[in-house]
Structure 1
Amino acid sequence: MSIKRDKSIIFSGLYAESYDLLYSEKDYEAECDFIESIFRIYSNNNIKNILDIGCGTGGHSLILARRGYRMYGIDRSPEMIKIAKHKARIQKLNGRVYFEVNTIQNLNLKIKFDAVMCMFNVLGYQTTNEELFTTLCVVKGHLKSGGIFICDFWYGPAVLCQKPECRVKFLKRGKETTIRIAEPEVDMIENIVSVKYNILNINNKSLIGKTEELHRVRYFFKPEMEFLMKKAGLRLLKMFPFLNYDGEISERTWNVMSVAKV
């Protein structure tokens, strides 16, 4: 069965339904350990409430809520938020975590947070300077004085040096097999990788679901990120390889983390 969807909509339909399975190898617990270590290093305040921008199905928010933080997660995908809310109910975390459908550029919660996070390359989906700058201004506007901003993104020198490749992922769940085919194309003028994702769901050798999404993901360079953060009122404190605080970024570092502060 093939379902035609608006190709401008991403993380919807079968992709949203398969999201947790597709990224089941992602170690959210370890990532949350690392996020907490960043809090201990940089925060002068006791971190209590955190805004999770682009929260997806709640992978980070739910864990941090279980650890005692008050979490507020937003995502533009209604289907991803529906899954996140369902998981929160099952885990009985409704009092500690709140999820809502919203876009970054329109966000105005009238709440200040001790920390804001944009994980799993959420910044990369801000493909124009205007979108990125607006996002950073929104982050700054939702942070308390001394608040911490943590994010990760694709690092330009690594993308250009290593070049993204076509990848195929097979995942089995009972009698069903989910296949994800990722076909990337690099635009070195606009600094964007366009990735065409095809998701196939197969049961007993029969195709029971299929969807296609085009994800346009921007990669960044340190000078532009530093400049735009400063212009938005954020101070970039450190940039390092993903989950490797003491490491040095290079043309081999595809995924970079950064910490900034108001």
Structure 2
Amino acid sequence: MFYETLARYYDRIFPLEATKVTFLAEEFGRVKAHSVLDVACGTGTYALALAEKGFAAWGTDLSPEMIRQAKQKAERQKLPVRFPVGDMREPGTLGIVFDGLFCIGNSLAHLLAEDELRHALAAMRETLRPGGAAVFQIVNFDRILDCGDTPLPVIERDKLRFVRIYKPVSAELLHFYSRLAVKTDDG
């Protein structure tokens, strides 16, 4: 439910970062990638940016609302990016092998158990051609566990305020709390 609500504001909270696009394009260029998969793509921003650079891009996300928005953006931009609803633990259900794969934005942290993470990474590896490139991004959780309650930088843009805090609940588990405030025209 959280991501279905967040989808409406997602692009305003997390706008495209050109340096990430450049990094991804360079990494995929090193292995002469043509087809790339954005795992847990949100509203598809990075898959679309890579398509603009000539990659045959796909994006999957578990949230139907995120995927709906990604498809709308692809249509508006007239880009041939495919956006099926999909689980990052099972990218093989697409039936395609990709030259490159990426999972950014700390999406892997949604996998709570180590065996679940291992399964997802193995499934992603099976979806990647031999010699292909995979890029992953995560928060430094060791630092959070060492420091205790750790707020991430508050994001304030365009009448939005997004607060995120990690709280350790054990030596191996963190709870993630977030709050989105939207300022209306009437205050």
Q: Same fold (TM over 0.5)?
A: yes
Q: Equivalent residue for 1:236?
A: none
Q: Which runs of 5+ in 2 are unaligned?
A: none
How far did residue 138 of structure 1 move?
1.2
> 1:183 and 1:105 mapped to 2: Cα distance?
25
- Give the structure with the larger strand fraction: 1
Q: Equivalent residue for 2:151?
A: 165
Structure 2 residue identity aligned to 1:201: V
- Higher relative contact order by CA 8 Å / sep ≥ 6: 1 or 2? 1
Q: Equivalent residue for 2:182?
A: 201
Structure 1 residue identity aligned to 2:13: L
Max radius of gyration: which structure?
1
How far did residue 161 of structure 1 move?
3.9
Q: Deviations over 1:119-168 (max 9, x none)?
A: 11121111111210111111111111212111111223322344412754
Q: Do the aligned residues in 2 keep the contact of 1:10 with 1:77 (CA within 8 Å)?
A: no
> 1:196 and 1:66 mapped to 2: Cα distance?
35
Aligned ranges for residues 79-228 of structure 1 at < 5 Å? Answer: 79-93=65-79, 95=80, 97-107=81-91, 108-163=93-148, 164-165=150-151, 168-172=154-158, 177-190=159-172, 192-206=173-187
Structure 1 residue identity aligned to 2:126: G
Structure 1 residue identity aligned to 2:19: A
Q: Which runs of 5+ in 1 are unaligned?
A: 1-8, 207-262
Q: Deviations over 1:50-90 (max 9, x none)?
A: 11100111111001001110011100011111111111011
Distance 1:127 1:146, change over 3 A: same
Structure 1 residue identity aligned to 2:82: Y
Q: Equivalent residue for 2:2?
A: 10
Q: Do the aligned residues in 1 keep the contact of 2:145 with 2:171 (CA within 8 Å)?
A: no
Q: Do the aligned residues in 1 keep the contact of 2:144 with 2:166 (CA within 8 Å)?
A: no
Report how many residues are paired: 185
> 1:183 and 1:138 mapped to 2: Cα distance?
30
Match 1:72 to one of 36, 58, 69: 58
How far did residue 180 of structure 1 move?
2.1
**What SS does the aligned partner of 2:24 have?**
helix
Structure 2 residue identity aligned to 1:182: R
Query: Could you say what the CA RMSD is over the residues aligned between the two structures, in angstroms?
Result: 1.9
Distance 1:116 1:168, change over 3 A: closer
Distance 1:50 1:40, change over 3 A: closer
TM-score (norm 1): 0.65
- Runs of 4 or more above 6 Å deviation: none
Structure 1 residue identity aligned to 2:58: Y
**What SS does the aligned partner of 1:101 have?**
coil
**What SS does the aligned partner of 1:85 have?**
helix
How far did residue 99 of structure 1 move?
0.3
